[in-house]
Structure 1
Amino acid sequence: MKVRTITLVLAMFVVCVSLHAQQDPLMGTWKLNLSKSKYNPGPPPRSRILKFEPSPNDGLIMTNDGITANGEKTHTVESFAQDGKDHPETEIQGVDARVSRRIDAYTTETINKKGGQTVQVLRRIVSKDGKTLTITVKGKTATGATLDDVRVLDKQ
């Protein structure tokens, strides 16, 4: 009886996560469209592929694979709790906390902070047809340079 109950609960969890992923237009794989993107300061990466997946508690996991302007391969996996609360950040230079939240069905926002002050604001907006993801990044780099990116990605 216990095995049957556990199996049923696990099956319900898998179905719920799958339904959430299907309903959230951000979920899936996205490829950077360099011709439509703007990197300030540059140079832009040679390529970038982002994959978004749901994580527990309405969070998300982002896998980022790319090639830098210098030809170096990059791979990172980040987890975001979209609860609107500050969480420690150790992977981004010049950032010690991150707060993420969902604004609406098509928009999420992440604020990167240093010493309690906002240093970068990232907005991810999925088009209504679900085919384009636009990420705007505004703020300062770790060296203090102005950051004003518009990154356009196509759904794969």
Structure 2
Amino acid sequence: MSKRTFELLLTVFLLTSTLWAADDPFTGKWKLNPSRSKLTDQMKVEALGANRYALNFSGDNVETVVADGTDQPGLFGTTLSVTIDSPNSWKVVRKTDGRIIIIGIWKLSEDGNTLTDNFTGYRANGSTVNLHYIYKRTAGTPGFPGTWESTTEQVDSTYEIQIQPYQQDGLSFINPGDIKSIKFDGKEYPSSGSSAVPGSTTSGQRINDQTLKVTEKIKDKLMDTQQIELSPDHNTLTMTIYDPGRSKPNILVFERE
């Protein structure tokens, strides 16, 4: 899951099996430990002429936008706008149903080889997640067009998840506005909640007592796969998230509250 699917990090999904239910060691409240987590992100910007750009934030998901500050159709029912405040400063805004869910303030270094992104995600309940990304250019020439890979990330906001029993043989993974309730039978289960992306589903398998494998899709398109591991003392939850087309996973480490 890239940062932008941390946009949708705002979402991560789990859960379990018949005899475990309320006593399942995965259940409880979990808080992200930023110092132990590692987020790696890559994005691509391609100039198409006439102030038009192709943006790729994850996998093969490409969006084309005119950088005039107006809301334009984006992925999965969202809108996307890009405002050029100056040659070295862009504002990128994503909305769903008219509500802002992402604001990214992009700044270029003087030599054009470093891009900083002050990234804020807005949850349905009004709370926010703020990250500061620093990207290094891996392809392209000075200017925003090119291929960028993050070199450091800082999570400034509290990010918590809650895992509860679901029916007799499953679990629900809950964060504000988004609920993933599944059984670990390999079947796909739809998301619910005010922030759920239309057409999003989650399926999962229990590898063993302390390891889960979860697959996340939107309208049958693979978004990520996750390996979720519980520490032997059941107090640490590690999520290793693999995005299609990315060579490095994101690693989120949660501690039990």
If each structure's strand is expressed as a fraction of its own residues, which one has the higher value? 2
1:26 aligns with 2:26: yes
Change in CA separation of 1:89 and 1:146 when aligned onto 2, cut-off 3 Å: farther
Aligned residue pairs: how many?
Answer: 126
Instruction: Tell me the amino acid that sits aligned with residue 62 of structure 1.
Output: F
Deviations 1:5-31 (A, max 9, x none): xxxxxxxxxxxx997322x21111111
Is the 1:40–1:146 contact (alpha carbons within 8 Å) kept by the matching residues of 2? no
Alignment of 1:1-156 (within 5 A): 20-22=21-23, 24-41=24-41, 43=153, 44=155, 46-64=157-175, 74-89=176-191, 91-92=196-197, 96-114=200-218, 116=220, 118-140=222-244, 148-156=249-257
TM-score by length of 1: 0.66
Separation of aligned partners in 2, 1:147 and 1:57: 36
The answer to whether the 8 A contact 1:31-1:49 is kept is yes
Deviation at 1:62, TM superposition (A): 1.4
Q: Distance in 1 between matches of 2:204 and 2:217?
A: 11
Q: RMSD of the alignment, in Å?
A: 3.0
When Rg is computed on C-alpha atoms for both structures, the one with the higher figure is 2
Cα distance, 1:85–1:18 mapped onto 2, change above 3 Å: closer
- CA shift at 1:132, angstroms? 0.6
Q: Would you tell me which structure has more helix in proportion to its own residues?
A: 1
Distance 2:173 2:191 in 1: 15
Query: 1:109: how far off?
Result: 1.5
How has the CA–CA distance of structure 1 residues 112 and 150 changed in structure 2, closer, same or farther, with 3 Å as cutoff? same
CA–CA separation in structure 2 for the residues paired with 1:146 and 1:46: 27
Secondary structure at 2:159's aligned position in 1?
strand
Cα distance in 1 between the residues matched to 2:158 and 2:246: 23
- Partner secondary structure for residue 249 of structure 2: strand
The CA deviation at 1:81 is 2.4
Once residues 54 and 89 of structure 1 are traced to their aligned partners in structure 2, the CA distance between those partners, rounded to angstroms, is 16
Q: Which amino acid aligns with 1:39?
A: L
Q: Please give the per-residue CA displacement for 1:26-71, whole angstroms capped at 9, x wherever unaligned.
A: 111111000000112255462211111111141111122xxxxxxx
Whether contact under 8 Å (2:205, 2:214) holds in the other structure is yes
Instruction: For structure 2, list consecutive stretches of 5 or more residues without a partner in the other structure.
Output: 1-17, 42-132, 134-152
Structure 1 residues not aligned, in runs of 5+: 1-16, 65-73
Q: Residue 241 of structure 2 contacts residue 251 of structure 2 at CA under 8 Å; is this kept in 1?
A: yes
Identify if the C-alpha distance between structure 1 residues 128 and 147 changes in structure 2 by more than 3 Å, giving closer, same or farther. Answer: same
Quote the Cα distance in structure 2 between the aligned partners of 1:19 and 1:57: 8
Q: Secondary structure at 2:21's aligned position in 1?
A: helix
